[in-house]
Amino acid sequence: MPLGKSLSKTASYMKYKRILLKLSGEALMGDQNYGIDINRVAQYAKDIKEIHDKGMEVAIVIGGGNIYRGLSAEKAGMDRVQADYMGMLATVINSMALQDALEKRAIKTRLLTAIKMEQICEPFIRRRAVRHLEKGRVVIFGAGTGNPYFTTDTAASLRAIEINADVVLKGTRVDGIYTADPLKDPTATRFDEITFQDVYNRGLNVMDMTAFTLCQENKLPIIVFDMNKPGNLAALANGEPVGTLVRE
């Protein structure tokens, strides 16, 4: 059977056709205090390959907090705009690391950034990004939105809407959304599902407000899940109840 037909048949069993996976920069540190844990990146690449090989179209946004955080630099006295641009460059470093890990597993990728860096990536053009996805390439979006004062959460929401993703999968180090911080409050309980309005009413921290509002206004569901548990991403792709679903 031709490869295209095989992938199409497999994809029909997946819950989502196109996803936007948001990864935090801090998650790439693994057990380190700084930088990139190559073993953690390799695990992420393996999990992404599993859903990609089944025909899912995958786009990714990665933060840069493991290398540089603009807000922290601002608090230390640096100009906010300068600090945010430095943070955008950190996201490109992380994106390149994940791109390398994916390509070592024979996955074709494209890195598109909101800041032009022709020697290492393509500039972000919406139609080009969608075409890459349609051709079966994993697309990584770097440099946030290309604007200061916006987080990579906002970049993830914006890119997901632009490429018509079915869902934003926010991979974190916790297994969902809780009534309180489970690391500080042992009585905190996890939600299986919650509405956008309930998140507002309870004052829960899922994404920054700009990113969260973008998803709500465009009726784009969010799933918060533990990316560090192997197999979770594939389970989500198959529609299994992993993490917490935020919906209308």
Q: Quick check: helix, strand or coil at residue 111? A: strand
Cβ 160 vs Cβ 59: under 8 Å: yes
Q: Is 126 annotated as a binding residue?
A: no
Does 22 appear as a known binding residue?
A: yes
210 annotated binding-site participant = no
How far apart CA 239 and CA 242 sit, in angstroms, is 8
**Is residue 183 a known part of a binding site?**
no
Q: 147 a known binding residue?
A: yes
Q: State yes or no: 4 annotated in a binding site.
A: no
The answer on whether 145 is annotated among ligand-binding residues is yes
Task: Tell whether the torsion through CA atoms of 70, 159, 12 and 46 is positive or negative.
Answer: negative
Residue of 41, 20, 36, 48 lying closest to 107 (CA atoms) = 48
Strands 109-113 and 122-123: parallel
Question: Hey, is 157 helix, strand or coil?
Answer: helix
148 is annotated as contributing to ligand binding: yes
Q: Is 152 annotated as a binding residue?
A: yes
d(C-alpha 86, C-alpha 34), whole Å: 16
Is 146 annotated as belonging to a binding site?
yes
The answer to the question of whether 203 is labelled as a binding residue is no
Contact indicator for 90, 68 with CB cutoff of 8 Å: yes
Whether residue 91 is annotated as binding a ligand: the answer is no
151 is an annotated ligand-binding site residue: yes
Does the annotation flag 63 for ligand binding?
no
Q: Is the dihedral of CA 242, 175, 246, 144 positive or negative?
A: negative
> 144 a known binding residue?
no
The CA-CA-CA angle for residues 206, 212, 214, to 5°, reads 165
Annotated binding residue at 178?
yes
Binding residues for UMP: 64, 84, 145-152
Binding residues for ATP: 22-25, 65, 69, 172, 178, 181
Binding residues: 22-25, 64-65, 69, 84, 145-152, 172, 178, 181
